Structure 1
């Protein structure tokens, strides 16, 4: 995926807003394969202004529960990734796609994994496949505790999903503050 500068994004948004060219013609004019990026940039700009098009200085971290809430909202309402991101105040809709993929492949536990590759310092260099050795070293009791925790998370998620399905607007209003506080946590 090509990276585009903030200036380029802003120029295309302004050009679109002038009304002379639509998304597809703008994409053709600037030799872009697809017009959907331009559509996304325009929507983000309209909601967040120029700041929405800027690269983030630090990576924001989101709780597993927040990610599950975003995914359940998208599934329940049939909203696109772009519309869901704008609804939750996120400027990067592709992040939702990666959450969705992780959830489909590994369930709620996969949403808690840190992004990127582990550092190669110290033990990590010599451990080969660390995760496999950790799995083997867990006792039966530890495996049961881990499974129990995952089941607790799943039950909690299903309760929240049910509450959301019964009253989506009320649920979102009640938890609006929680979403905003979760999205502003500094990364470690």
Structure 2
């Protein structure tokens, strides 16, 4: 289970079982008595990855600036987030929305990799 998930592992597994039976996010949320938006996000990942949406990845995949820009240009040209996420192997279509939000807020430079931060200076105020 993803560490930040608001759904329990059991709720996620039940939701995926219901998705496989043909239920949609709203019906699943009602049936489980949980937040519809959380189930909708899980359903999107289920459509991309199947049951693998239940498995958390050990590390975050990073995408180059050029890849992000290509995806955003194609998204703004009218391609769907789902199709782009599937083609580029993104974890979720919501990642594209996040990148678009970052560009709208901070310009295209917001998508560039951040330079590594220098280590903090040693503590010079040693008191025995």
**Consecutive unaligned residues in structure 2, runs of 5 or more:** 124-128
Aligned equivalents of 2:117, 2:42: Cα separation in 1: 33
Pairwise CA distance, 1:37: 4.1
More helix by share: 1
Tell me: CA distance 1:16–1:45, structure 2 relative to 1, closer, same or farther (3 Å): closer
Q: Higher relative CO (CA 8 A, sep ≥ 6), structure 1 or 2? A: 1
Cα distance per residue 1:122-161 (max 9 Å; x no partner)? 14x9xxxxxxxxxxxxxxxxxxxxxxxxxxxxxxxxxxxx
Q: State the shift of 1:110 in Å.
A: 0.9
Distance 1:119 1:73, change over 3 A: same
Report the counterpart of residue 29 of structure 2 in structure 1.
27
Aligned-residue RMSD, C-alpha: 3.0
TM-score (norm 1): 0.51
Q: How many residues align?
A: 118
Which residue does the alignment assign to 2:53? 52
Which of 1 and 2 has greater Rg? 1
Give, in whole Å, the separation in 1 of the partners of 2:51 and 2:111. 30
Q: Note the C-alpha offset of 1:32.
A: 2.5
